[in-house]
Amino acid sequence: MIEVLVSILLLMGAAFMVLASVGVLRLPDLPTRMHATTKASALGAMLTMAGVAFHFGDSTVVARAVAIVVFIFLTAPIAAHVIGRAGYFTGVKLWEGTVKDELRERYDVRLNRLESGPEADEQPASPEHKSSNPD
């Protein structure tokens, strides 16, 4: 019985790994590739580790499998964020079918400055309203 469960978990994990690698092979540009890999490969590793934990059924093994899963779930988004940021700022070409790139009109590549949200449209705060000095 437990063998069937472990087999199903391993097969699902491997299927998600294959899905992630098909995505990284077939998708057109860097953000879409990262969209495929980070989520699907993290889920694949999680399912594989769940299979390991069910197969051994020992508390130390389960603790290590849970540690691996937690570690992957903590680090995969951070790594994806950092790589995507670096790729965008070094000018990796986006796919020509990209519909919206909100960062392009807010970000000044030359000065390396980012304007944020609604207050970018307003005038900057006038320097006149200094606190009056009562002396």
Partner 1 sequence: MLAVSINVVYFMLSLALLFAFIRLTRGPSLPDRVVALELISSIVVGYVGVHAIETGVASLLDVAIVIALTAFLAAIGFARFVERGGVKDD
Binding residues for partner 1 (CB under 8 A): 3-4, 6-7, 10-11, 13-15, 17-18, 20-22, 24-25, 30, 33-34, 37, 41-42, 44-45, 48-49, 51-52, 55-56, 58, 60-61, 64-65, 67-68, 71-72, 75-76, 78-79, 82-87, 89-93
Residue type, 31: P
Long-range contacts (CB closer than 8 Å, 24 or more residues apart) made by 22-28? 28/95, 28/97
Kindly tell me which of 58 and 119 has the beta carbon lying closer to partner 1. Answer: 58
Kindly tell me which of 22 and 120 has the beta carbon lying closer to partner 1. Answer: 22
Kindly tell me which of 82 and 120 has the beta carbon lying closer to partner 1. Answer: 82
Counted residue by residue, the chain has a size of 135
Least separation in angstroms between residue 130's CB and partner 1 is 38
Least separation in angstroms between residue 104's CB and partner 1 is 17
Least separation in angstroms between residue 117's CB and partner 1 is 23
CA distances to 39, 55, 73 from 67, in Å: 18, 16, 10
Q: Are 77 and 38 in contact (CB under 8 A)?
A: yes
Burial (CB count <10 Å: 0-12, 13-18, 19+), residue 47: buried
